[in-house]
Structure 1
Amino acid sequence: MTRGKLIAIIAGAVLLTAGAAGGGFWWWQRGHSTEAKAPPPPKPSTFRYVSMDKVIVMLRSQSGDPLAHYMAVDVVFKAEDAVKEKAVKDQLPLLRSVTVKALSEFTLDKAGALTIEQLTSEVNTAYKARYSADSIEQPFAEALISKLIIE
């Protein structure tokens, strides 16, 4: 074999290897793109919120406590659609009554020691108990406390 043929064979082998490596890399990149894909957009909320403002409750007094103490809360009801939103609005007097009954059980010390989550849980439990006792469907998914003042 002459020296020219040997150089041509080696050059061909190098070009063939480089071409195969480039093609393999291109094929691998096509399936494993390094570009970050955008996350899907969040779904718009379909919930409707109904507010019940200024529920004022007199807290139970400690024995010998000369001052009256109050709790004021704003409650927001999370309804799933327009029909249930209307049902919540129609039942606001009942919901106000249940809220007052549930919160009037607390003393100043006990109410002050509760977190918002614990107070929300107490109120939601009272609503569920009332709707179960009346054997009717609760028209809201949950109640949220949007404002709390204890004096």
Structure 2
Amino acid sequence: MKLKTKLLIGGVALALLAGAGGGWWWWTSHTTPTDAAARARKAVDYKYVSLDKVLVMLRGEQGQAVPHYMAIDIVFKAEPRDEARAKEHLPLLRTVAVKALSVNTLQTATAMSIDQVAQALNRAYVQSYEADGRKPPFAEALVGRMIIE
């Protein structure tokens, strides 16, 4: 084989390798780890467990009992494997909610948004389960309905 032919074959092989390397670089730089992770994991089909009619007496300005209350429906977003356990924990979850919300006065309760109430409940649930050294049987507590009278 002539030197020219060997150089031509080597040049073509080198161009193919460079093209393959450039293609690989482009593909990996345009596929973010977030995209890859999202495709790798399956979306969780959450189950929703309802805790209805949690009644909480509200306090007056000086801490005295007043004839006002908060009625709240709470919905727990649970993974399918934790749904039964979440239902078993409903009495505990009701108690924690009453304890967390009963410190509010009528004025503070009416000033709170739904998101703020949900955040307060989630904090109380996390603290309660951490104190027991257990994992909550749900991913998040949501407020389904809230009435203050």
- So what's the TM-score if we normalise by structure 2? 0.68
Aligned partner of 1:16 in structure 2 is none
Using the TM superposition, give the Cα deviation of residue 80 of structure 1 relative to its aligned residue in structure 2, in angstroms.
1.1
> Structure 2 CA distance, aligned partners of 1:64 and 1:76?
29
> Structure 1 CA distance, aligned partners of 2:94 and 2:63?
30
Q: Is the 8 A contact 2:59 2:65 kept in 1?
A: no
Q: Give 2:143's match in structure 1, choosing from 123, 136, 145.
A: 145
The answer on 1:131 being equivalent to 2:132 is no
RMSD (Å) for aligned C-alpha atoms: 2.0
Residue 46 of structure 1 aligns to a residue in which SS? coil
Structure number having the greater helix percentage? 2
> Structure 1 CA distance, aligned partners of 2:65 and 2:142?
32
Residue 59 of structure 1 aligns to a residue in which SS? strand
> Structure 1 CA distance, aligned partners of 2:94 and 2:126?
14
The answer on 1:119 being equivalent to 2:94 is no
* Structure 2 CA distance for partners of 1:93 and 1:62, relative to 1, 3 Å: same
Aligned partner of 1:109 in structure 2 is 107
> Structure 1 CA distance, aligned partners of 2:74 and 2:124?
13
Render the CA deviation track for 1:14-33: whole Å, top value 9, x for unaligned.
xxxxxxxxxxxxxxxxxxxx
Render the CA deviation track for 1:50-86: whole Å, top value 9, x for unaligned.
00000000001224988511000000000011x3000
Larger radius of gyration: 1
Residue 67 of structure 2 aligns to a residue in which SS? coil
Count, aligned residues:
108
Structure number having the greater strand percentage? 2
State the one-letter code of the partner of 2:72: V
* Structure 2 CA distance for partners of 1:126 and 1:64, relative to 1, 3 Å: closer
Residue 82 of structure 2 aligns to a residue in which SS? helix
Aligned partner of 1:53 in structure 2 is 52
State the one-letter code of the partner of 1:113: A
Using the TM superposition, give the Cα deviation of residue 45 of structure 1 relative to its aligned residue in structure 2, in angstroms.
5.8
Aligned partner of 2:79 in structure 1 is 80
> Structure 1 CA distance, aligned partners of 2:65 and 2:130?
38
Structure 1 gap ranges (5+):
1-42
> Structure 1 CA distance, aligned partners of 2:125 and 2:63?
33
Aligned partner of 1:5 in structure 2 is none
Residue 59 of structure 2 aligns to a residue in which SS? coil
Render the CA deviation track for 1:85-139: whole Å, top value 9, x for unaligned.
0000000000000000000010000000011001100000000000000001111
